[in-house]
Amino acid sequence: MTDAERQETIDRAWRDLVATARRTAAEGLVVGTSGNVSVRAGDLVLVTPSGVPYDRLTSEDTVAVDLDGHQILGDLKPTSELPLHLEVYRGTSARAVVHTHAVHATAVSTLVPTLPPIHYMTAALGGPVRVAPYALYGSDELAAAMRAALEDRTACLLQNHGTIAHGDTLDQAYDRTAQLEWMCRLWLTASSVPGRTPTLLSGAQLAEVGEKLRGYGQGR
């Protein structure tokens, strides 16, 4: 890859990252500068900077680190949740990560150790979504707790904090984040009906869905 091709790859990845970050704010998954987004670009990890409103980010604000967390590009400080993102990349084949403070998902994280399997899209995230125990934001302790909760999963909840989801692309990571928030809202709504208990899906039912989802979409 030539230097020009490498730069174009980085520029394109940064534009997509900023668009995704702005989408999390526009669709109510974050408030202010909370939450963060990252994406792989070759051997670099591009990340949103700390404390900068997404609508102010330009092509001149590109922030990139290596997998050891050393800053390679940019003058702005990387997100304080950089350890979360790097832990995902080190432990999975993920190419993109989205972290939010989505309200329904965060509410669920304070109530149960695992989101009950109330909808078949649970299977799209690898199974019932676990809650990582609370730890200080930006800490290695939180990153380790998240990594355990993500075992065989593509998303998890962070207790009293929010969500994290990863995927092969930014679109996929975002979609998984949105699906998780929707399922949390669904469970909270159903479980709030007095005198009624929501029906849940069995492991066998989720496995059946998982098999069917393998052929979902246009296959192109």
Reported residue count of the chain is 220
Three-state SS across 109-173? HCCCCECCCCCHHHHHHCCCCEEECCCCCCCHHHHHHHHHHCCCCCEEEECCCEEEEEECCHHHH
Q: Catalytic: 81?
A: yes
Q: Tell me how many degrees the CA angle 191-197-202 measures, rounded to the nearest 5.
A: 100
Q: Which of 60, 81, 87, 211 is catalytic?
A: 81
Helices of type H across 49-127: 82-91, 103-109
Answer whether 176's CB lies under 8 Å from 165's CB: yes
Which residues are the active-site residues?
81
